[in-house]
Structure formats: structure tokens, C-alpha cells
Amino acid sequence: MTILVTGASGFIGRNLLMSLAIAGNKTIGVVRFGSLNQICHDSIGIKQIGALNGSTDWSGFFGNVSSVVHCAAVAHGKLGDAISVNVEGTLNLAQQAASAGVQRFVFISSIGVNGNINTRPFTTEDTPAPAEPYAQSKWEAERGLQQLCQHTGMELVIIRPPLVYGPGAPGNFGSLVRIVEKGLPLPLGAVHNKRSLVALDNLVDLIITCIDHPSAANQLFLVSDGEDLSTSGLLRRVAKAMGKPSRLIPVPAVLLQLGATVLGKKAVGQRLLGSLQVDISSTRERLDWTPPVSVDEGLRRCFETQGH
């Protein structure tokens, strides 16, 4: 049987496809028309779609497909755009997949569904509290998928990752890497928060586990590396992995948050200074799964092919 992966030109989807193919799985990667296609493997078929929304026609995509892994999403922008792609596009895909006889739908959500800051680690039992449009859309998609799968019998797996890092990672991690690379001094030496991250290889390993693991059916999983880092600790580990010095100045976190708020960057300050921990004990127990890559190894892999 075949595994269909959406968002195949993206950071997670591209790496997931290659890992599946190397392991001998037959796969179909779905990309948008005009997307840069860097996927090349004999067992990977590529199909293209136009816009991903509630009216996308998926007919002809599901021949011999047993599982769908839905990685495609809009991560930034207005709530309306996020609803169109992340909610309506997801539910439309799932409905057509279920009608075509797909057995399992793996949805890559976000830990932002739980919230963007905490004082104790998030668990799967916590009441969702999404604070940003992207997370709100993911939560709405989760609820819609649960209702759809209850009615159709298609199995659903939901995975909520925190910040994902790896070679060429976009977003906040990419910005952090660029700052460390420039050797700029940062006033974050006294930040002692705790944040959960997940190496790309660990996330991909969990996704592959969830594609056919019997105990994954109709379950929600949180994922991380299993080791939480402070912002200052992460910067030091990144600098070490890059072979660069870490120039951290110890400024009290309360002053940094005040400054960020005054400058209208309160949310940025919270991401740098606040804690966001994830409890993956239920994931470990239900799936007998352990993150295969340590934080240091995950960071090393970020830079081993980039000339650092």
C-alpha cells in the first residue's frame, strides 16, 4: 500500500518522504503547482495541486493509498487564511480520503493548541487554549477531524509538536541560527526558562511510527526531544554545534520582558523568556517510543552539511 504525504516540498514533509522511501515504503508526495521540487527517489511519486482549500479536488490521488500524513499548512498570516487552508482544506482532504477508503489520517498539528506558555508541562489531558491564529485553526481542524472520523470510521492520529529544528529549519530557529552565526552579543545570559523542542529526525520517527502502529489509532500525541532547555542553554548548545562562541550578557529576564512589552514585542518576549514544556510520557508508554536522537546530536546534524 501507498502513503500519501501533503506539504511534500516543506521542511517536515520533504524529510518525511525521504525517510519513508529509504525504508522501502511506496509514497506519493503532494506539492502545490510551482513549488520547488527537490524530491528525487524511485519510490516517490509526485502529484501537484492548485490551492489547498475547501474545494480542492483530490480525486485520483488515493489509488492504493492506505494512509495520509497531512503536513501542509499556512503558518503565518490572517485568521481567515489559516481557516481556509488549515481547517477547510484539511477537512475537505480528509472527507475525500475517507470516501476513497483511506484507513488512517495522520494530522500534524501544533503544541500551540495547548497554549504558548506554561508553568508546568503540557499533557494530552489539558484543555486547549490556542492564542494565535495558526494554533486556533489547528484546534478547529482537530475538532472537525475527530467528528469526521467518528462518522466515517477512518482512523485519526493527531501529533502536536513544539518548535521543530533541523538542517535548514525556517522560522524562529532559523532566525536564532543566523544571530549566533553573526556572533552578535545577546542579553539572554540570565534567562533560565524551560522550553521543549523536537529535532526533525525525532518528529519524523514518531510520524512514521504512527502511520501503522495499532495503538496510535484515534489518539493524540505530544512530542519533544525529552530534554528541555533554557533559551540561554539552547543558544550555547547551538553555538557549540556551529563551532562558534556564544556571547551572552546576563540581563534580568524581568527587564527584558518589560522592554519587549514597551516595544510592542510582548509575544516575542514570551517566546524567548517564558517556559513551554511538553510531557511526552504518554507518547512513550502508548507507542513504546523513545526519541532516537539527543538534543546535541540533533543540533550537530543541523550544521554537518552546511559547512559550519
Q: Report CA 279 to chain centroid distance, whole Å.
A: 16
Q: Give the whole-angstrom CA distance, residue 274 versus residue 269.
A: 8
Distances (CA, A) of 222 to 111, 136, 289: 7, 17, 12
C-alpha span between 106 and 162 (Å, rounded): 17
19 in Cβ contact with 166 (< 8 Å): no
- pLDDT at position 42 is 62
> Residue ranges per domain, the chain?
2-160, 171-194+229-273
Tens-binned pLDDT, residue by residue, of the chain (308 aa): 899 999 999 999 999 999 999 999 999 999 988 665 556 556 688 899 988 999 999 999 999 999 999 999 998 877 888 999 999 999 999 999 999 999 999 999 999 999 999 999 999 999 999 989 999 999 999 999 999 999 999 999 999 999 999 998 888 888 888 888 888 888 999 999 999 999 999 999 999 999 999 999 999 999 999 999 999 999 999 999 999 888 899 999 889 989 988 888 887 788 889 999 999 999 999 999 999 999 999 999 998 855 44
Q: What is the pLDDT of residue 307?
A: 45
Q: Is 86 left (phi over 0), alpha (psi -120 to 50) or beta?
A: alpha
Positions annotated as catalytic residues are 134
Threshold 0.75, pTM exceeds: yes
Name, in order, each residue with C-beta under 8 angstroms of 282's C-beta and a sequence gap of 6 or more. 123, 124, 221, 222
Q: Which of 91, 126, 96, 90 is nearest to 111 (CA)?
A: 126
Question: What CATH number should be reported for the domain whose range is 2-160?
Answer: 3.40.50.720
Q: What distance in Å separates the CA atoms of residue 143 and residue 63, rounded to the nearest whole number?
A: 27
